[in-house]
Chain A
C-alpha cells in the first residue's frame, strides 16, 4: 500500500451531504474485475449528462459543466472537500479505487461513513474529519480563491495553507501508523499467526460444531 506522509495539493469541492457510494461510482462499473480503471467514472452521474457504460471512456460524452470537478481550475485537484456522511451506503471499495484513480490522495469532511473510512485506509487515502464549522471555513476559503491549495501533514496532524490556515486534526493512532508506513495489513496480521492458531485450538474445544466439515455437494 502507498504511504501517506504529507501531501500538498489543489482542493476541489463536492458541497453535498450524504454522498453515497452509488454516487461515487455507479453500479454499472462494478462489473469490472480489476482494482484500477475507475477514475473516469468517478461521480459519473454528476460529471456527465448521459448514462455511462463500462469501458466507454470519457471522450464523446456530454459533460456536466456545472459540476465542480469539471471546472478547469479543479482539473489537477488531489484533495476533496465535502460534507458530512460521505461514502454512506454500499460497501463497494470501488468507490475508494475511483477516487484514488482520479487522483485524490486526501478527503476532508465533517464525517465519513464507517465502511468507506476503513476502505480508504486500505488504499492509502487519508480521510480527515474536521468539525462542521471548520469545514465551512474551508469551503469559504476555497470559493474565494482559484487554485486553493492545502498541505496535509500526517506526521504532525496539521493542515496548513498560504492564507494562514493552520488546523490540527485528530487521527486514530493505529490508522495513522498504518498510513505513515504504508503497511500491508495482511503481512502485519500474519505476524500474529501463533495467536490465531492458539485461538483456533481453543475454539475447536469450546465450540466444536463450528469446525464440522461442510458436507454435501457444491458448485
Chain B
C-alpha cells in the first residue's frame, strides 16, 4: 500500500486500534507551558496519578510572562501581575513535584514552546509531539506528527503517554512557482488560508509539498505549518529532506554518534510515497504573489497589499456576509479602502509564527538605517527564545531595531495573545506578525492586521501599510 507521510507517522505510533476507528497513539514528546497545564497537574494529583514518563515532558514559560527586562530580571517574584505570577509559580511547583524538566523564566533556553522545541532538538523528525496549544502544528515542518490538545488531554498524556485519536484524512497542498523576493512563507500561508477558508483543512492532516516548500528554510516551513491550524487543520506536515537533516545537526538534544546515523536513515524515509492517495489536493502557484495583509477578524480575511477592503454586498452566502460586516465594523474599515491607506498605532514583531532568527533578519533588513514613523505609539520586537535573542544580538540586529525607535524585549508570546502588559488599547490598530486577528486577541477592542516580518517592518517605517519591496534596499542576497 502506498502511504502518505501522515499514514507512516500514524502507523509508527499506533499502540492500539479499535474497530470503531478510535486508536491509541504513543506520544514521544509533550511540551507544557504555564497556561494550559496547571489544571492538568492538579487533576493528576487529585487522582493520585504520576506522569508515566517524566523524561518525555518538557515545560517552559511563555504565554503570560512579562517581556520587559526590569520585570524579568528578578525571576518569578519579579512578575508584577499577581495572576500571571501564580501561574508561573504553579507550573514551577508542579514541575518540581512531578520531576519534569523546565526551562524556567530565567533559563538560557527559555522561549515560546514552539520555538524552543525545534531549536533544542527536543522535537525531532518522526516524533509524535503534543502541547496544550493549537499552534503545535509548527513541529510538522520537519515531519513530526504534532497535535495541539486541550487540558484534559494534557492530563491524559501525562498519565498514559498516549492520546486517544481517530485518524484524519490526508490533504496535500502543492505550492509551486517562483516566490518573489521579499514575499515570504507567511504571505504564502495567509494567501492559502484566504483561498481555502478557515475550515478548509478541517478533519485533515495537511502536507505541504511542491518546489516552493522544498526551497523554504526549516524556519519558513515552520511558519507554514504553524498556521495550518488557522485553516482548521490540526496537523501540518512537510517531508524530510537534506535541509531537515542539516537543521538538526548539533542541536543540544538531537542524537549523536551512532544514533545520529540510525536516526538520519529513519528520518529520510519520512516522505509520502509517490502516488500515495490524498483525499484532497489543493494547488497554488506563487510566482505572481504579493505580500499579504489581513483586513478582518478571521485569518481567512486576507488581501494582497495592492488590494482594497472587500465589499460584503458582493457575497452570496448570508453567514459570510454578516461575518464580513461584523468584521468591518469591529475593524472600523469601509469597503473600497486601499490597504496602503490604513494607518497604524502599533507594530508587533514576534510570536511562534514569526520570531525566529530568520524573521528578525528579514525585519532588520528593511529597518536598517531607518526610523519608525512618528505617528506610531509603539513598535515591539519580541524574539521567540533566549537563543534567538542572543543570536540576534550577536548579529547586532537589536541595535538596528533600537536605532529605529523600536523596543527590544525578552522572549515570550507577548502581544500575540496579550495576556501580559503588551497589548493594544481599545480601538488601536496593529500590524502584527502573529497568527490570529480575532476580536480582542491583542487587547480589548484592539484591531489586528496579520503580516510578514518584512511587511511589519515596512509598515513601521511608513506608519501605514506599504509594499515592503518599495522600502527594501536592493542588497544582493
Contact = CB atoms under 8 A, between A and B. Distances in A.
Co-assembled chains A and B: yes
Given A207-B266, A214-B58, A115 B39 contact: no
Contacts of B164: 185, 189
A22 B297 CA distance: 11
B177 to A, nearest CB: 29
Contacts of B39: 33-35, 93
A212 B256 CA distance: 10
A218 interface: yes
A23 B35 CA distance: 17
A209 B260 CA distance: 8
A94 B260 CA distance: 41
Given A31-B64, A174-B20, A186-B156, A23 B438 contact: yes
* Most A CB within 10 A of own CB, among B83, B90, B322, B326: B83
A190 B26 contact: no
A33 B87 contact: yes
Given A18-B323, A23-B438, A186-B159, A196 B198 contact: no
Interface string A65-86: 0000000000000000001110
A10 interface: no
Nearest to B133: A91
Interface stretch (A118-126, A146-154, A155-163): A118-126
Given A89-B134, A93-B36, A208-B262, A174 B436 contact: no
Nearest to A35: B39
Interface string A4-39: 000000000000111010110011101111110000
A168 B186 CA distance: 43
Contacts of A164: none
Given A22-B436, A91-B132, A216-B252, A114 B234 contact: yes
Nearest to B103: A218
Nearest to A203: B26
Contact of B152 (A84, A90, A185): A185
Nearest to B254: A209
A18 B198 CA distance: 8
Interface string A102-135: 0000000001011100110011000000000000
Contacts of A54: 83
Interface in B348-370: none
A45 B199 contact: no
Contacts of B49: 186
Contacts of B16: 192, 195
A30 B103 CA distance: 21
B150 A118 contact: yes
B199 A111 contact: yes
A173 B18 CA distance: 11
B150 A93 contact: yes
Quick one: which of A33, A111, A212 has the most chain B CB within 10 A? A33
B226 to A, nearest CB: 13
A23 B255 contact: no
A196 B162 contact: yes
A192 B15 contact: yes
A88 interface: yes
A162 B86 CA distance: 50
Contacts of B418: 27
B259 A212 contact: yes
Given A84-B319, A92-B36, A209-B259, A196 B438 contact: no
A168 to B, nearest CB: 19
- Interface-central residue, B84, B104, B153, by most chain A CB under 10 Å: B153
Contact of B160 (A88, A186, A203, A218): A186
Interface stretch (B378-386, B395-403, B439-447): B439-447
Contacts of A35: 39, 42-43, 151
Contacts of A85: 198-199, 202, 232
Nearest to A51: B444
A27 B419 contact: yes
A88 B439 CA distance: 13
Given A196-B26, A207-B266, A22 B440 contact: yes
A174 B255 contact: no
B55 interface: yes
Interface string B122-145: 101011000011100000000000
A51 to B, nearest CB: 4
Most buried by B among A22, A91, A96, A111: A91
Name the 7 nearest CB pairs between A and B, nearest first: A122-B152, A209-B255, A31-B83, A93-B150, A119-B150, A33-B38, A209-B259
22 contacts: A16-B323, A17-B322, A18-B298, A20-B436, A22-B440, A30-B63, A31-B83, A31-B86, A54-B83, A90-B133, A91-B132, A93-B36, A113-B232, A123-B152, A173-B20, A174-B22, A189-B156, A189-B164, A210-B28, A212-B259, A216-B252, A219-B95
